[in-house]
Amino acid sequence: MFLRNYWYVAASASEVGRKPLARMILGEPIVFFRTEDGTPVAFEDRCAHRHLPLSMGKLIGDRLQCHYHGLQFDRAGQCVRIPGQEQIPPNAKVKTFPVAERHGWVWIWMGEAALADPAEITDFHWLDDPNWGAKASYLHVKANWQLVVDNLLDLTHLAFVHETTIGNAALAEHATVKVTRAPNNVVVTRWIIDQPAPPTFVKVGGFTGNVDRWQIIDFVPPAFLRLDVGATPTGTGAPQGKRIGGITMRNLNAITPETEKTSHYFWGQAHDFDVNNAALTEKIFEQIQTAFYEDVAVFSAQQRNLDINPNPPQIDINADTGVIQARRILDRLHGEEQAALHASAAV
């Protein structure tokens, strides 16, 4: 299941340049490149002539030249040169996709082009805001994208999967969890009061005693999860809005389906303390990266089981509440999108 009429992160800005980049997104092979003035462009990665991936070609000015017979396509996807002939067939063109750049990422619109509005791109400003220290990265995940969304909406797993970094038993046993469900949004707010800090927080925050810890997970369809996380020494008023003497971070996640069984996982970690300390940014990043590698192992193992038995029975527990709400939103949005598609096809 894919939702198409949305902006997705396709690549980091630094990945897209004058050498064509091939990437599969929502089951479609896409080629990315930049024109000479730096504008990102995205095409269907298939020559209109004999189907070779255009990503195997090269750029001649702002034209992408196919490696096989030298057909050249301009930034609108129109073939503008066929070696050895002047006449260019009118349907010698490839599909193009709206793209935009925001927050150090190149975004692509995979649905009906007329609906693409860059103003709708999800806000990830912490990644390039001078008031935050931040570092972004990428993981390739051998699992369906919804397994990654599920993982980020239920953070009780930190106590078991990430016990050497961001997890401890308090997360699973001593949390109050509030799930706020709006028609197209889920916010999961977790507080763990007067409990030990996890190892990562001790390393980067220097906590020596118990803390009040928060995790506020904001889910926006189709697959964006922005986490406000942190802790303060216990009893200093964090639940009442006073974040004094502690640490505040943002864990930022943008999952883009590659296929039904694989995903592109773009993520970043930002901190609002000692923001110009590059060594601290790197230290925090490495802690979270260690945790995320552990998650990738979990997703892959889940997917292997689901490949063997695609629709097994499953039970739900209280901690799944946010996950269940998000899946219901996604199922509804997908149904609406499919209905609109069929309605327009019937006309």
- Contact set with other proteins (CB under 8 A): 156, 172-183, 193, 318-319, 321, 324-325, 328
For residue 157, the minimal CB distance to other proteins (Å) is 13
For residue 190, the minimal CB distance to other proteins (Å) is 10
- The nearer residue to other proteins, 91 or 318, going by C-beta atoms, is 318
The answer to whether the CB of 68 falls within 8 A of the CB of 50 is yes
Q: Residue with structure tokens 């509005």?
A: 117
Strand 99-102 vs strand 224-233: parallel, antiparallel, or unpaired?
unpaired
Alpha carbon distance, N-terminus to C-terminus of the chain: 24
- The nearer residue to other proteins, 283 or 334, going by C-beta atoms, is 334
- The nearer residue to other proteins, 74 or 320, going by C-beta atoms, is 320
For residue 328, the minimal CB distance to other proteins (Å) is 7
For residue 182, the minimal CB distance to other proteins (Å) is 4
For residue 322, the minimal CB distance to other proteins (Å) is 9
For residue 204, the minimal CB distance to other proteins (Å) is 26
Quick one: which of 148, 157, 217 has its CA closest to 181? 217
| Phi–psi pair at 16, nearest 5 degrees | -100, 120
For residue 145, the minimal CB distance to other proteins (Å) is 23
- The nearer residue to other proteins, 31 or 323, going by C-beta atoms, is 323
Q: Residue with structure tokens 């990665």?
A: 45
Residues in Cβ contact with 158 at an 8 Å cutoff, skipping those fewer than 6 apart:
166, 167, 168, 171, 198, 291
- The nearer residue to other proteins, 180 or 277, going by C-beta atoms, is 180
- The nearer residue to other proteins, 51 or 332, going by C-beta atoms, is 332
For residue 321, the minimal CB distance to other proteins (Å) is 5
- The nearer residue to other proteins, 65 or 168, going by C-beta atoms, is 168
For residue 218, the minimal CB distance to other proteins (Å) is 13
Q: Which residues pair with 264 in a beta bridge?
A: 140, 256
- The nearer residue to other proteins, 79 or 170, going by C-beta atoms, is 170
The answer to whether the CB of 139 falls within 8 A of the CB of 292 is yes
- The nearer residue to other proteins, 256 or 321, going by C-beta atoms, is 321
